[in-house]
Amino acid sequence: MAAGSSRGYGPSATLCVAVTALSAALLAPGLTQPHGLSRRPLELKIDQALLLVHNGLINENLTVSWLSDYCYQCLYQDLIFVPTSNTLGKPSIVNVAVDSQHPITLQLNGTLEGRELHRIHYHFGEFGNYSLVVKSFHNSTKISCDIIINESPVNSHLPILYAFLIYMGILSILTLGHVFVIIDPIKNWFYKKLNPVDTDHLINSERGSPARADSASSNVPATAWTVSQRRLRSLDTFRGFALIIMVFVNYGGGKYWFFKHQSWNGLTLADLVFPWFVFIMGTSISLSLSSMLRQGCSKWKALGKAFWRSFLLFLMGIIIINPNYCLGPLSWSNLRIPGVLQRLGFTYLVVAVLELLFAKAVAENNTLQETPYSALWDILLCWPQWVFVLMLEATWLCLTFLLNVPGCPKGYLGPGGIGDFGKYPNCTGGAAGYIDHLLLGEKHIYQHPSANVLYQTSVAYDPEGILGTINSIFMAFLGLQAGKIFFFYKDQHKQIMIRFFIWSVVMGAISAILTKCSKDEGFIPVNKNLWSISYVTTLSCFAFMLLLLIYYLVDVKRWWSGAPFFYPGMNSILVYIGHEVFENYFPFKWKMKDNQSHAEHLAQNLLATSIWVIISYLLYRKRIFWKI
């Protein structure tokens, strides 16, 4: 590797000190529980505000119901009953906790003839203290409803700002340090210490990256796929970026709602990372299989390795990453069969088998690019794989929209529960949920889906279920297509980036058509729980654009080494399994002083995530890479 590429920032001691400073800053006075909260008659939790309802109606009880803006076509839910006052001229007051994540609508009903009195749309602030004053005018049917702020809410987003500033400070310090070591004597010393000669040789041993052909003295046939001696750092950077965000959101994401999975339709940050990981896995399949075949490995041997890796991923997901570990690793009666690693394993197997069965070798020269339809050669030469994948998509569409699900309408894509005005409470996920219940059994799928809080669902539903795996295969195949672009346009940076841009636009256009540019009103909404086709096209649109950007910065211009994401990207399986296994152990987790503080949760989750970055960096320096 050239001396100019040694830009990895990895001083773990500096990062440890900075993370300690982060924890101290986020836990500074004034960022935790607001003053006076402990004296309130009702103890509030994260994402809640206190509402005191004043019923000043004359001889009429009051019922307050609520509805979140994020709950699509939902029924109003009872919030509080406020009786009429027994004292003339003095209203009765009842307090209640209300949701502060999203704007909500309060519906006020009187008990006389069950009439609706008023509706108020309001966005309460976290830990704020509010009064809802309801009163009627003397000798009049008019009713006034006003919300008064008794105590201002806290700014729960300040910890994120402080965390951002601290990490930017870390980046600035490391950048200045990099500028300092440009001085030749210091640069030479650091280069010898930080760039062992055999590190790149070790990590390039199996997963290569396409570029120049081997020398003429090579024994590899002229039609063999070619890889360069320099690994594409952008791929590991992309993988590490998705992985680190995944670790952060799995640890809790500071208990912020936008770092959690969306309840049903739509996207949050947490919904982006798993599909990106699947996407870059498909790209790696293309590169790793080409490297194996270039080195003379037979297709049968490569197929055996694919089966073995898939089996190991599935086994680790079943036994190690077991949500019922407290019941024992082999608690078969309640063992969750689907999962993240299980889906990765099966997806890897299908895409790898497709590649080995149908893929054709890329010629050593670029003559293909001079033939008719050259702009489509990377697709046309893969037409058998495309036919198979499109048949899988047709299967997904048929099962989703044509399968008869007992008690549910055909093509139902809703969350069930109180959604769709409560018409289909047990139809969560439609065909996807029905197939999992039918083939796996209710006790062997995920028991606490993200929809059960907002939509109050009562049935188990697995976001990594059987039907959605079809679309994860499509996602990985699109990633494999990105790998083929690297081959067909080797050393042609502009052409590679143009292709990525075109793919991104095409996928985005398909998403716009499927969703009608709407969160809930489209033909097929973007939905992570279903892994809908629009979810795949939308996330692949983002993935192609993100890969283009990282490729340009890391491999084309070499303005960025990929640090710190590059290091966990090199040990992705180890980091993923490690963060799941040791999640509840110190220093990744500790007993918090204030469990209802975003600041302390954020500090804990960022510290835990940063520790895994440091671990992956140290493993990289020791040249330890766990591959299966």
Q: Which residues are catalytic, by number? A: 261
Residue for token pair 């040990």: 571
By CB atoms closer than 10 A (0-12, 13-18, 19+), residue 1 is: middle
Backbone angles phi, psi at 49, to 5 degrees: -130, 160
HEC letters along 495-527: HHHHHHHHHHHHHHHHHHHHHCCCCCCCCCCCE
| Per-residue exposure over 581-595, b if at least 16 CB sit within 10 Å of its own CB, e if not | eeeeeeebbeeeeee
Strand partners, 527: 265
- Residue 200's contacts (CB-CB under 8 Å, 6 or more residues apart) are 1, 229, 230, 231
The total of other beta-carbon atoms located within 10 Å of residue 94's CB is 15
Report yes or no: 30 and 36 within 8 Å, Cβ to Cβ: no
Dihedral of CA atoms 525, 528, 531, 533 in degrees, nearest 10, equals 30
The total of other beta-carbon atoms located within 10 Å of residue 111's CB is 15
Dist. CA 54–CA 146, nearest whole Å: 10
Query: Which of these, 248, 246, 349, lies nearest to 572 by C-alpha position?
Result: 246
The total of other beta-carbon atoms located within 10 Å of residue 41's CB is 7
Long-range contacts of the stretch 207-214 (C-beta < 8 A, 24+): 207/231, 207/284, 207/287, 207/288, 207/291, 208/287, 208/288, 208/290, 208/291, 208/294, 209/235, 209/287, 209/486, 210/287, 210/290, 210/486, 210/487, 210/490, 211/490, 211/491, 212/490, 212/491, 213/364, 214/294
| C-alpha 78 chain-centroid distance | 33
Output the CA angle 439-464-548, nearest 5 degrees: 145
Report yes or no: 218 and 229 within 8 Å, Cβ to Cβ: no
Query: Which of these, 250, 287, 285, lies nearest to 270 by C-alpha position?
Result: 250
Angle (deg, nearest 10), helices 533-551 and 273-294: 60
Sheet holding 77-82, edge to edge: 77-82, 62-68, 104-110, 116-122
Helix (H) or strand (E) holding 282: helix 273-294
Structure tokens at 144: 């006034």
Structure tokens at 180: 């300092």
